[in-house]
């Protein structure tokens, strides 16, 4: 088994959806990613929290054997995001972003993290993504996520990160935006031309597509879910399941088959996250119900 290093946000989210609301509940890309990935592998977190961050929230990760040596606690308040899915479960409307301690985040890798074989740069400033990557010694496989905000405001830096990663995870609309094309197939190919060997396009309720420059497309629909409560963290849970499975199975560079299996793991975990607020549903996933959901997913897509 290899280790997965993740750098991302540790946050408190206030979310409204058609099912209700959750105020200042645990969130952030690094939390969703770590909980998902830790089902399969040893996870190392790089991030920053304020003095208000609860010990019980740190304990959630510690209980899953996640290494928190890279989690800095600094004076001030934890990153707070407020959003609404009341209009559409497919698109969050951001109501407030309070960066707080995240504004001065200066990610540093503890010595013991530097040999991490798998590295995931969650959706943060591409300048910080580069800073983290430059501290890692010869990682085997590096992934990144990004969002429309960085495509708009820091595209040059974003393109620099794209050149250095093996795989990028993007929403379909973001892939179209970055490549300025309407066709999603053309978009994914153009993203790959910018650097990464592999691209995962996240299509929300329609599932995801993995593209490889050499192996073409692998498309997986989402699990059919009737009770979508809160879509927050679905993408990070996907990436966490994806990287966690890879790290648990690969000591060499992942093969196409490894990556296809990782897409299935990501699909299962993201489908669980959306069934409750915050990390609640994701935390209920254990090895037994993971295997059950995986079997169910396979049944809906096996030809």
Among residues 18, 114, 253, 292, the one that binds its own copies under rule CB under 8 A: 18
Strands 20-27 and 11-17: antiparallel
Among 203, 244, 268, 282, binds its own copies (CB under 8 A): 203
Cα–Cα distance, 264 to 208 (Å, whole number): 10
Report d(CA 262, CA 267) in Å as an integer: 9
Q: Binding its own copies by CB under 8 A: which of 89, 130, 147, 159?
A: 89
Say whether residue 180 binds its own copies (CB under 8 A).
no
Tell me whether residue 138 or residue 227 sits nearer to its own copies (CB atom): 227
Name the one range near its own copies by CB under 8 A: 3-11, 157-165, 182-190, 235-243.
182-190
In the complex with its own copies, which residue's Cβ is closer, 31 or 208? 208
The contact pattern for its own copies, residues 220-249, with x = CB under 8 A and - = no contact, is: xx--xxxxx---------------------
Contact string (CB under 8 A) for its own copies, positions 130-169, x = contact:
----------------------------------------
**Considering the complex, what minimum distance in angstroms separates the CB of residue 89 from its own copies?**
8
* Cβ-based nearer residue to its own copies, 148 or 186: 186
Closest CA to 242 of 82, 43, 48, 25: 43
Among 168, 264, 282, 285, binds its own copies (CB under 8 A): 264
DSSP H helical segments within the chain, as ranges?
29-37, 55-62, 126-135, 148-153, 155-162, 172-179, 184-193, 234-249, 256-273, 280-283, 287-301
Does 93 bind its own copies (CB under 8 A)? Our answer is no
Which window, 49-57, 134-142, 184-192, 278-286, contacts its own copies (CB under 8 A)? 184-192
What is the side-by-side order of every strand in the sheet holding 167-171? 67-73, 42-49, 3-7, 118-121, 141-145, 167-171, 198-202, 208-212, 216-220
Residue pair 142/165 in contact by the 8 Å Cβ criterion:
yes
Size of the site for its own copies (CB under 8 A): 32
Q: Does 58 bind its own copies (CB under 8 A)?
A: no
Asked whether the beta carbons of 33 and 120 are under 8 A apart, the reply is yes
Interaction of residue 183 with its own copies, rule CB under 8 A:
yes
Size of the chain, expressed as the number of residues it contains: 303
């Amino acid at each position: 088994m290899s280790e997965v290093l993740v750098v991302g946000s540790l946050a408190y989210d206030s979310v409204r959806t058609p099912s209700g609301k959750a105020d200042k509940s645990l969130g952030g890309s690094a939390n969703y990613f770590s909980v998902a990935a830790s089902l399969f592998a040893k996870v190392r977190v790089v991030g920053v929290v304020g003095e208000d961050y609860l010990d019980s929230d740190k304990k959630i990760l510690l209980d899953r054997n996640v290494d928190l040596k890279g989690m800095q606690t600094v004076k001030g308040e934890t990153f707070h995001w407020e959003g609404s899915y009341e209009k559409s479960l497919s698109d969050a409307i951001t109501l407030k972003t309070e960066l707080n301690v995240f504004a001065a985040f200066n990610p540093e890798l503890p010595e013991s993290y530097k040999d991490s074989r798998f590295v995931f740069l969650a959706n943060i400033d591409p300048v910080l993504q580069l800073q983290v990557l430059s501290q890692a010694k010869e990682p085997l496989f590096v992934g990144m996520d990004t969002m429309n905000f960085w495509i708009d405001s820091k595209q040059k830096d974003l393109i620099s990160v794209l050149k250095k990663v093996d795989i990028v995870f993007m929403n379909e609309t973001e892939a179209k935006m970055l490549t300025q094309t309407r066709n999603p197939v053309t978009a994914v190919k153009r993203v790959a031309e910018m650097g990464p060997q592999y691209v995962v396009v996240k299509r929300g309720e329609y599932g995801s597509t993995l593209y490889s420059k050499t192996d073409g497309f692998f498309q997986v629909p989402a699990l059919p879910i009737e009770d979508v409560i809160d879509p927050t963290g679905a993408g990070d849970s996907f990436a966490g399941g994806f990287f966690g499975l890879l790290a648990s199975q690969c000591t060499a560079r992942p093969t196409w088959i490894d990556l296809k299996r990782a897409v299935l793991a990501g699909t299962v975990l993201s489908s669980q996250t959306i069934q409750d607020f915050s990390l609640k549903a994701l935390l209920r996933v254990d090895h037994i119900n993971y295997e059950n959901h995986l079997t169910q997913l396979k049944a809906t897509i096996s030809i």
